[in-house]
Chains A and B, each alone.
Chain A
Amino acid sequence: MSSGKAIIPKILSRAAGVDDIAPGDIVVCDVSRIIQLDLPFTTKSEPLPLRLTYPERVAIILDHSVPAPTVADAEGQAIARDFARRMGISEFIDIGDHGICHQVILEKGFARPGEILACGDSHTCASGAMNCAARGLGRLEMLQVMCTGRTWYRLEPTILYTLEGKLAPGVFGKDVFLAIAGTYGEHTNLNVEFGGPGVSSLSLDNRATIATMFAEVSAEFAIFPFDDVTAMHLRAAGVDENAYDPVAPDPDAAYADVRNLALDKIEPMVALPEFVPHNTVAVSSMQGRRVDQCFIGSCANGKLSDLAEAAAILKGQRVAPGVRLIVTPASQRVYLEAVRRGYVETLVEAGAVVTNSTCGACWGGSMGVLAPGETCITSSTRNFKGRMGSPDADIYLASSSTVAASAVAGRIADSRELAATS
């Protein structure tokens, strides 16, 4: 007798062509979309494939170090360009049409409901916002899946977060994640699924932020159900509704735990330096901490809505003296739309730096590296020692709204209070 199944076991069993699946089972799956980045071509730690079984499933996206900051990166990107041409990979996202891979994946409709997506980046779970089973794989695995189009997964149990209500003004997907991480900590060897009436109130951007960030608590897959919001986004990306088959949980699906979350009770949150699980607090309790650099960007929070929030807060204001605000849009498309809407003008007038799209400061690669003793508040993804530059710098994680307010105040600030006093 098999009980009902949650979303991830249903997607995995379908992709593996098996009728039944239980936690602990290992299944070998067809991967619908395989995303390779610029970094493997630069580091050359694995050999290049001689042939690919399914080149049509592969997309190469240059994102981590673009435009090339070093000769090694430039050489790697040239190798990637040549490889795509030789292998007949039509989806080669070169500089100029590019963005951070998880943003590009969403914009181009690469992540599809009910399917499996593989990528070597740890935040691949971002595509869970599209009802797509996606998680990061190691370099050797990515080589294997790029060559053969298949890889294996072990089914882990699923935790269901039942969302109710809707987010209050000034509260965003990042705060939802930080609240969950603070309360529940690590989700190692667990899948995470979202459900409940509150899901429909979340924008796609907020869902993507939440799904992206679950990598920080070691979740396997993080996945949202399919609804009108997902459908609308796919239509906008030019994906035919017959090209995918969403997966919903069975009514009697079995979960390892069911946790209720009232969205309206969530406040702006911040992760304290060095790690995230059980290490988050309300912004209201951290106000006053001086900051040197503020960063808005990354796959988690470099979206148009993030730039919109920042521009709304910074309009007519100035970045505090002695503080840098660096804004890195998650894609060329976001950048262009932000220019058209006047956000970039507002941000630059306020004293912010608006850079080209790349991962950039998020991983201390370039474009805003921290000095020893500095404090950074960022809407990017990670805060471990040395992540954004010097190991002697402190990193606080927050929403773009909190970061923008902090840039104006020169210290960690609650954007709702800034709005009230301006």
Chain B
Amino acid sequence: MVLRELGVAAVVATTINGLFLRNAVNSGLAVLECDVPERSAPEGSTVTIDFENGTVVTEDGSTHRGAPIPRELWEIVSAGGILPRLRREGYIAADGQQTRSRRG
């Protein structure tokens, strides 16, 4: 996913649409659906995100609660996405068996 390649570490948004959520999780992009007012997190400020509990602590000291994603999804995200996760659990080969890919 492009966002990860651009170096984006995480996405926090008030609402996250189903398809974006699926693609983000599958490609290992950390996401959290949480309403954080812009005044609490102005551009350039630092935030602390607890994905397990679904909280965002902003520089002004306030804690914002969102909807954490379930543990099994977080395992996919923290592994780096579906392929790394399946590799780690021995479902697919570590070096990738398919050397050729075709546009279907």
Contacts and interface: CB of A to CB of B under 8 A. Distances in A.
Nearest to B81: A140
B102 A45 contact: yes
Contacts of A152: 25, 70, 72-73
Interface in A30-45: 39, 42-45
Given A27-B70, A44-B102, A141 B18 contact: no
Contacts of A27: 70
A312 interface: no
B82 A49 contact: no
Interface in B1-33: 17-18, 21-23, 25-26
A220 interface: yes
Contact of A45 (B18, B70, B93, B101): B101
Contact of A43 (B23, B96, B101): B101
Interface residues of B, number: 30
Contact of A48 (B17, B70, B97, B100): B97
Contacts of A189: 17-18
A20 interface: no
Given A138-B26, A140-B26, A152-B72, A47 B97 contact: yes
A48 B98 contact: yes
B41 interface: no
Interface stretch (B45-53, B55-63, B83-91): B83-91
Interface string A114-154: 00000000000000000000000010110110011010101
A49 B101 contact: no
B101 A51 contact: no
B70 A154 contact: no
Contacts of A141: 22, 26, 82
Interface of A: 24, 26-28, 39, 42-51, 72, 138, 140-141, 143-144, 147-148, 150, 152, 154, 156, 189, 220
Given A140-B81, A147-B92, 19 more contacts: A24-B67, A43-B101, A44-B98, A45-B101, A47-B92, A47-B96, A47-B97, A50-B90, A51-B91, A72-B102, A141-B22, A141-B26, A143-B82, A144-B26, A147-B86, A152-B70, A154-B21, A156-B18, A189-B18
Q: Considering the complex of A and B, which 10 residue pairs feature the smallest CB-CB distances, nearest first?
A: A43-B104, A147-B91, A28-B72, A47-B92, A140-B82, A44-B98, A47-B97, A45-B101, A43-B102, A140-B26
